[in-house]
Chain A
Amino acid sequence: MKLYELAKSIRSKNAGPFTLTIDILFEDEETFRRTVAANALNRALIADIYEVPEEQVEHYICEEARAIKFSFPRPVAAGDFGDRDVFGGQFHSPLVNLDVPVER
């Protein structure tokens, strides 16, 4: 399925001017567990999509929030010349239509 069909919320945001963070939140426990188990959302994927070294991608599984979270350095500091998104709020867009090997 597409990630947006599985997730309740997919969002990106600055965590300070030099770091981006992406939250993928799930409505129900089952979909969350199966998506985590499928391991399709991993550091290598994020490194590839955002063109950052894999070792600089932080990956968190937040059980209580039913969330998968990634944080990594921004390609360009917020508001610097060539930055696309000062607030970092639309960086999640390449993940919305991502195919994930999970069925509901």
Chain B
Amino acid sequence: MNKEVGASREVRVLAATGMLGTGFSEASFNRALEWNPDVIGCDAGSTDPGPYYLGAGVPMSSREAVKRDLRIMIKGGLAKGIPVLVGSAGTAGGAPHVEWTVDIVKEIAAEEGLHFRLAEIQSEISGEKLIEYFRKGKMKPLHPAPAIDESSLRRITRAVAAMGPEPYIKALEEGAQVVIAGRSSDTAIYAAVPIMKRLNHGPTWHAAKILECGAGSVEQRLYPDCMMAWIGEDHFRVEPPNPEMKCTPVSVVSHTLYENADPFRLAEPSGVLDTSRATYHQDGERGVIVRASEFHHSPTYTVKVEGVQLAGYGQIAMGEIRDPVVIRQLDDFLNDAKNRIMEKVKTSLNLDRDSYRLHFRVLGDPRPSQGRKESEAYGVGVVIEVLAETREKAAGIMAIAWHTALHHPVKEWSGLVSQIAFPYSPPNADRGAVYQFCLNHVIEPDDPLELFPITMTDL
């Protein structure tokens, strides 16, 4: 085998970060570029923050933060002739999310004077289209799945289908240098180039799964960052470019558990990744080699769909009860209050109690737990507060604040952690304009009437 053929049997894949807009170290990224990746990928979405983003057609991340990450990726990729693939654009991958991301890319191109071929891949699927599949018996439930029928499909606000690597491959074959794609299987972004280059599916999909959270598979992720994989015929190797972080066999294997119900079998559109026989070995101080990953092709190609419908319109008010007398009888107090509210709503608004939902969520209940059930477990309430010069800045700061706090580590727990239970999607509620008192003065007019002009109108 000559050197050229040998070299072509390895594909190097760089994940810029776990989620576009959460940031990465530019030094790490530049170091990874020196390793000559064949593709730079980044996942930009998830169903994790809940149904809101798909329904509302807005992204979770701050526009400025996404633009910062994209600018570094696109400039770096174009300078070295490496394609840049972004999947699940704008958090949910619907048409408005793709458009939002493409708009940022165009802005970067104009600002930097960059010229390149951009591919935009849509993944939104209409209710009518879903009904067609449903009628043909081509829509099957996963477990657990809500029951559906034609009328529920008609009520869907927005739905997306999660693409496999094939649309990315098509775009690349047509010369795309930057691909902005809608909802994708997280791994498809990273599997596209290795599959295009006909590498084995086992190591490819397994490496893609490890790359999908960026530096999430290191021993101690200090902050969101890059991850690199070298994929070969019968193995792959991962190593973070950041010298402050390292992969170990346990940190890498632990990542195959993360966010998967079944740690050994991971469903993809064309089949199932089987990691049950995989072995993990340290390679160098910060790298890990994985062997014996298998991929079983399925007889039918399946694409996962996600959809949301309108549940209603919400309001929240946050407060604190501090009087020990009230706290002593908290359950009774809240039940009585709830009943009184519902009576008044009936009287004043003529709304029956089963036509809406009202709930008191008690945070930081000081009373000892009555049992071991999860529903009885108490927590401590946290209100994250932001005040900024404009609504956009406040939203941008809050998007970073809640997400950073969510995954902020403590030394007692290793691995990726989620430290705050946010009950709402989105986690934050815009308070709109906030005011402050700024006068407590007197003025001294010359005439008692001068402050009170009177206008006469003849009708």
List of B residues within 8 angstroms of A77 by Cβ:
146
Pair B311/A58 contact, Cβ less than 8 Å: no
Pair A65/B145 contact, Cβ less than 8 Å: no
Pair B372/A11 contact, Cβ less than 8 Å: no
List of B residues within 8 angstroms of A90 by Cβ:
379, 418-421
CB distance from B411 to the nearest CB of A (A): 12
A67 to B275, CA, bound (A): 14
- Across the interface, A64 reaches (CB within 8 A) one of B143, B249, B421, B423, namely B249
Counting CB contacts under 8 A, is A89 at the interface? yes
Counting CB contacts under 8 A, is B422 at the interface? yes
| Contacting residues of chain A (81-102) with chain B, CB-CB under 8 angstroms | 81-91, 93-94, 98
Counting CB contacts under 8 A, is B35 at the interface? no
Pair B423/A23 contact, Cβ less than 8 Å: no
Closest partner residue, chain A, to B277 (CB atom): A64
| Contacting residues of chain B (362-388) with chain A, CB-CB under 8 angstroms | 372-375, 377, 379
Pair A79/B259 contact, Cβ less than 8 Å: no
CB distance from B159 to the nearest CB of A (A): 13
- Across the interface, B417 reaches (CB within 8 A) one of A4, A11, A79, namely A11
| Contacting residues of chain A (46-86) with chain B, CB-CB under 8 angstroms | 48-51, 56, 58, 60, 62, 64-67, 69, 71, 73-75, 77-86
Counting CB contacts under 8 A, is B280 at the interface? yes
- Across the interface, B374 reaches (CB within 8 A) one of A9, A50, A80, A86, namely A50
Pair A81/B357 contact, Cβ less than 8 Å: yes
CB distance from A45 to the nearest CB of B (A): 9
List of B residues within 8 angstroms of A86 by Cβ:
48-50, 421-425, 427
- Across the interface, B422 reaches (CB within 8 A) one of A65, A73, A74, A85, namely A85
CB distance from A89 to the nearest CB of B (A): 2
List of B residues within 8 angstroms of A69 by Cβ:
257, 263
Counting CB contacts under 8 A, is B322 at the interface? no
Pair A11/B415 contact, Cβ less than 8 Å: yes
List of B residues within 8 angstroms of A17 by Cβ:
47, 50-51, 306
Pair A89/B417 contact, Cβ less than 8 Å: yes
Task: Decide yes or no: A73 and B144 within 8 Å by CB, A67-B254, A78-B425, A89-B421 being known contacts.
Answer: yes
- Across the interface, A13 reaches (CB within 8 A) one of B52, B258, B306, B414, namely B258
A74 to B142, CA, bound (A): 14
A23 to B406, CA, bound (A): 18
Pair B256/A87 contact, Cβ less than 8 Å: no
List of A residues within 8 angstroms of B115 by Cβ:
none
- Across the interface, A94 reaches (CB within 8 A) one of B250, B374, B412, B425, namely B374
| Contacting residues of chain B (313-339) with chain A, CB-CB under 8 angstroms | none
Counting CB contacts under 8 A, is B262 at the interface? yes
CB distance from A11 to the nearest CB of B (A): 6
| Contacting residues of chain B (291-329) with chain A, CB-CB under 8 angstroms | 306, 311-312
List of B residues within 8 angstroms of A56 by Cβ:
144
CB distance from B104 to the nearest CB of A (A): 25
Counting CB contacts under 8 A, is A36 at the interface? no
Counting CB contacts under 8 A, is B253 at the interface? yes
List of A residues within 8 angstroms of B49 by Cβ:
86-87
List of B residues within 8 angstroms of A98 by Cβ:
372
Pair B421/A19 contact, Cβ less than 8 Å: no
A62 to B50, CA, bound (A): 28
A85 to B263, CA, bound (A): 22
Counting CB contacts under 8 A, is A8 at the interface? yes
The 5 closest A-B pairs by CB, nearest first: A89-B418, A79-B50, A79-B425, A85-B421, A71-B261
Given contacts A23-B257, A65-B250, A67-B263, 7 further A-B contacts (CB under 8 A): A4-B412, A14-B48, A48-B373, A60-B262, A71-B261, A88-B418, A90-B420
